[in-house]
Chain A
Amino acid sequence: MQINVIEYFENGALRKCPQKLAVKDASRECTFADLERFAKNCAALILKRTQARNRPIPVFLGKGAENIVADMGILYSANAYANLDVKSPPQRLQGMLQNLEPEVIITSAAHAAVLRGLQIPEEKLLLFEEAMVGESFYDNAALLRRIEPVIDTDPYCVIHTSGSTGVPKGVALNHRSTIDFVDWAFDRLGLDGSEVMGSLAPIYFDAYTLEFCMLLAKGSTWMVVPDQLAMFPAKLVEFVASNPINFIFWVPTVMVNIANLDLLAKTRLDRLNKVFFIGEVFPTRHLNYWRRHLPGAMFVNLYGPIEITVACTYYIVDRDLDDDDKLPIGYPCRNTDILILNEQNQLTQVDEPGEICVRGSSLALGYLNNPERTAKGFVQNPLNPHYPELIYRTGDLGYWNSRGEIMFLGRRDFQIKHMGYRIELGEIEHAVLQVDGIRNCCVVYSQARKEITLFYECDRELPPAFIREKLMVTLPKYMLPTVFHRMELMPRNPNGKIDRQKLVASVN
């Protein structure tokens, strides 16, 4: 019985293929044996600093072998990794670090300056370079003893997501929820170690969890797509074509761009045989474009918020869909139950919309240091008055169709998906209201144009550059509005609240 995610590695790739190429990034190539040495060195360094268990350890590193080594090292130290975005604005980073309350942070010589700028004491910084050396300086038996008492409900990682009150929430996932999802994915989606992943997902996304576990358990190769290529779809396609990549797990935004630019007609991606996507709705017209160009590939639509561990439903595209058909989010993953509940908390009928709620081992532990939000999202199953049983209320709306598939409809609140990022419009509004002179604001999203639009009340017109400059201190790039409208007075509802519907209608 597997309890700890790191056992995937001990019993999987490390035994099966120690000399195989594990990770290839812009500057390094590592085998699985290399990863073992680096990761266990890293664990030994962590344990020199702290003997704490089950604590989140922030990883403030770029994507590549270094973050894999740090994440593995943290697991060997019986703690939970929290991969952070190195591009986070200082104030947001500060907020996340305060919430994590770390005793040690894994970073690099290059990135440490940012942390020093936030007054993080020097003794908390652990540089990954000390672990990635030729020699081994760990005690293997001691490390294995160290992880022996871990139980599967202990935290495995913390992933941050936008919070409507202005501070990101840290979702704490456990080993059990992760193994529950990953074992299902290996089995149902036919993952066997032959994959060479063209990895584009940021390491602070949950798509990374699946890639990381494929690497550890199956010995799949993790090939990092250079950051800059994501900017240039034509270059991205060329990169996939010129490397032995046969598996991608991307957000639809990138794939839609490639389809719109008709890049697959010019560059053939014949090796690609598994195309998974997650994070937002993939328009069927663009999916059909991909399917026409890759007729032999398996296309899988995965759906789920971070709080239920990567995905709770899946749809293996198994039939021809018309361009204007909606793509199902499909069926519950095994050992996951989906309840679609109406306003009265009753199960909905076929075609009746309701809130998608999730039941099972896949549920996260909750939000770190945030019992109020945890209690709001993770609630007693209203259909079960007999014993304690939590469900997660996703806030997403959906329905069962007559084929028995789940269809996604949208949100019941002000959360959006923009370029694959999950954003609470409230977090943007919170930041806008910190700008001097702005009395009131409302941020809306234009789905059609993919634009975040800011309406604000102010005595005078503020230059967009000025507003963006102010917001960049607290908000990451993907949350910055790109369209700005000043208003003397916002439209109001009869009850005096800002008439959001009217503003939404004006941009759509």
Chain B
Amino acid sequence: MKRLPELLREIRPEFDFTTSKDFIADGMLDSFDLMTLVATLDKTYGISIQGTDIVPENFKNLETIENLLRQCGVTA
């Protein structure tokens, strides 16, 4: 999961994702970004994030996204 900040940077190069505690509230991710992010995560980690998991709580910050990835079976 080391690549996560890097993947986010590719989607929104202008933000520092390591400092924000809430990407959604801070307006760092919009609907296009989120769709791109989910597709990127699926592809990068070979997983399939369920629609019911695409909720704001899971995409707040690096920690919550990492938790989600772990639930999806990503280990490293």
Contacts and interface: CB of A to CB of B under 8 A. Distances in A.
Contacts of B55: 232, 234-235
B54 A233 contact: yes
Contacts of B54: 231-234, 261
A465 B56 CA distance: 24
Contacts, number: 61
Interface string A457-476: 00000011110110010000
Interface of B (DSSP majority class): helix
A466 B13 contact: yes
Nearest to B6: A465
Contact of A234 (B29, B33, B52): B52
Interface of A (DSSP majority class): helix
Interface in B1-47: 9-11, 13-14, 24, 29-36, 39-40
Interface string A204-238: 00000000000000000000000110111111000
Interface residues on B, range: 20 to 34
Interface residues of A, number: 28
A194 interface: no
A465 B10 contact: yes
A231 B13 contact: no
B51 A482 contact: no
B39 A482 contact: yes
B50 interface: yes
Given A230-B31, A482-B36, A262 B13 contact: no
B11 to A, nearest CB: 8
A235 B30 CA distance: 15
A231 B39 CA distance: 13
A466 B39 CA distance: 20
B51 A468 contact: no
Contact of B30 (A231, A465, A472): A231
Interface in A299-353: none
A263 interface: yes
A412 interface: no
Contacts of A263: 51-52
A232 B14 CA distance: 23
A261 B51 contact: yes
Which of A87, A231, A235, A260 gathers most chain B CB within 10 Å?
A231
Shortest 7 CB-CB contacts between residues of A and residues of B? A261-B51, A231-B31, A465-B13, A469-B13, A477-B32, A465-B10, A231-B34
6 contacts: A230-B31, A233-B51, A234-B52, A260-B51, A464-B10, A468-B11
Interface of A: 87, 227-228, 230-235, 257, 260-263, 266, 419, 451, 463-466, 468-469, 472, 477-478, 480, 482
Given A263-B52, A465-B13, A469-B13, 8 more contacts: A228-B24, A230-B31, A231-B30, A231-B35, A257-B51, A262-B51, A464-B10, A465-B10
Interface of B: 9-11, 13-14, 24, 29-36, 39-40, 50-52, 54-56
